[in-house]
Structure 1
């Protein structure tokens, strides 16, 4: 918790007042855990869970494994890499495990940037099958470097401020010369029309990666669905599949399954979307 939010003692706080305080938190922050909110508000974990479930039903937040994240319908900005690392961690790990399970020996895979792809890099590093990996993400590259089963290609560029990705014309030109089996794509947002992001330079690289891949799989936690960022990466029809987590409501799963050939929902490690 930050210094600007002092703990409250709210045993007798009305539900509407307590929910207003929770909304106040999400105005200033992207993510919250049930434990932190309970401590801040002086309420029980079960009470906070009910409040978050209510706010999720109103479309204000989206529940995650252990808390919630703010729903962003439209955005021109994104969380810093340090902040993103703490958002929906269990969901991202589950998504990464499903993605790694798709790979076959001898295939070539491009890895986009963002923390979900960092988890994918760890999952791929744990495999033993021979693979060729192409990535412009320096964190993913560091995870995969010097692995006996991995041939690693890093197209290069200039490191984007506040992130791990290398961007620029040199990297795009190299990607344009490649033909890979898979692209594991990240994004800031997706809706039923398109995948979108907040950096024009990043989107230009992503478009080159999509063109260079036989099939594209979007790896995206459920908090990013139903929103749109400023730059259009690709129409949703360019995706072969989407892998997300159990936090995506069933009715939303049905909508996205109608516009992509394959929608995979990664289970939480304990087999439940609850945070108990």
Structure 2
């Protein structure tokens, strides 16, 4: 079929841009197949998007433009990103926690939603380096019902994203042991593992990982192929990766080969 029968250039480029933003990266061959246009047409579209500063061209495709590797948005900013996906992931992750467990909840906007889901689980002891998570677990419910979890705060120095990090937090975490750790990340990929833009937070996350019997990572599809300044774990250290159904099929396959178990949370 000729290119003229396909979506107009503006429509194609909007579709390509959406895929780059949601997947983190696209390949020319995949776009040719998905859009039903020629290789040359796709390359022209990528050239146009790159000229506008909307994507970065790489050999064989394009990747999304990231914030500076060391940049760290605040909690309120990140909390509004991909909210339906994060809510679905939080429900699926909370379902993995058994009553009476000792749970590590690392700071983050998705783990904050997990904490809200865990309010109904009886007998939990929760170790967290997030004041927001502690508040979510300790405040009375909307019906006035008291919280049931025992919360242990690590202490530490507060980051722009409201994580408590540093030697005080690390020492507290290393002295404890949890059945399951639930943590998020700025980005993840087979090559770089789990990353964060904050060096101190990377070290605190390593302490959490050493203290956990089981590691559950919560990360929406936009985190795939995103990159932060510091790596703190490889994907094969992850027992369960909980993500949403926006993750591309090829990325699901790549993740499933490395993590112990892949859980896809439906956003509908």
TM-score (normalizing by structure 2): 0.75
Residues 1:118 and 2:116 are matched in the alignment: no
Q: Which residue of 2 aligns with 1:136?
A: 129
| Superposed CA offset, 1:216-263 (max 9, x none) | 111001001012211011111111010000110111101100111100
Residues 1:62 and 2:55 are matched in the alignment: no
Residues 1:202 and 2:223 are matched in the alignment: no
Partners of 1:107 and 1:131 within 8 A in 2 = yes
Question: C-alpha displacement at 1:183, in angstroms?
Answer: 0.7
Residues 1:170 and 2:132 are matched in the alignment: no
Q: Which residue of 2 aligns with 1:100?
A: 94
- Matched ranges for 1:146-161 at <5 A: 147-160=146-159
What is the rounded CA distance, in whole Å, between the counterparts of 1:232 and 1:72 in structure 2? 19
Structure 1 runs not aligned, ≥5 long:
1-13, 20-49, 64-69, 271-276
- Matched ranges for 1:1-276 at <5 A: 16=9, 52-57=14-19, 59=20, 61-62=21-22, 71-72=64-65, 75-125=69-119, 127-145=120-138, 147-160=146-159, 162-193=160-191, 194-268=193-267, 270=268
What is the rounded CA distance, in whole Å, between the counterparts of 2:65 and 2:85 in structure 1? 18
What is the rounded CA distance, in whole Å, between the counterparts of 1:158 and 1:79 in structure 2? 17
SS of 1:210's equivalent in the other structure is helix
Are residues 72 and 242 of structure 1, via their aligned partners in 2, closer, same or farther at CA, if it must alter by over 3 Å? farther
What is the rounded CA distance, in whole Å, between the counterparts of 2:180 and 2:196 in structure 1? 20
Partners of 2:137 and 2:147 within 8 A in 1 = no
SS of 2:125's equivalent in the other structure is strand
Question: C-alpha displacement at 1:182, in angstroms?
Answer: 0.7
Question: C-alpha displacement at 1:72, in angstroms?
Answer: 4.8
Are residues 91 and 207 of structure 1, via their aligned partners in 2, closer, same or farther at CA, if it must alter by over 3 Å? same
Are residues 71 and 119 of structure 1, via their aligned partners in 2, closer, same or farther at CA, if it must alter by over 3 Å? farther
Q: Which protein is bigger by CA-based radius of gyration?
A: 2
TM-score (normalizing by structure 1): 0.73
| Superposed CA offset, 1:37-94 (max 9, x none) | xxxxxxxxxxxxx76433234x2x117xxxxxx9456833233322211110010000
What is the rounded CA distance, in whole Å, between the counterparts of 1:174 and 1:54 in structure 2? 46
Structure 2 runs not aligned, ≥5 long:
1-6, 24-62, 140-145
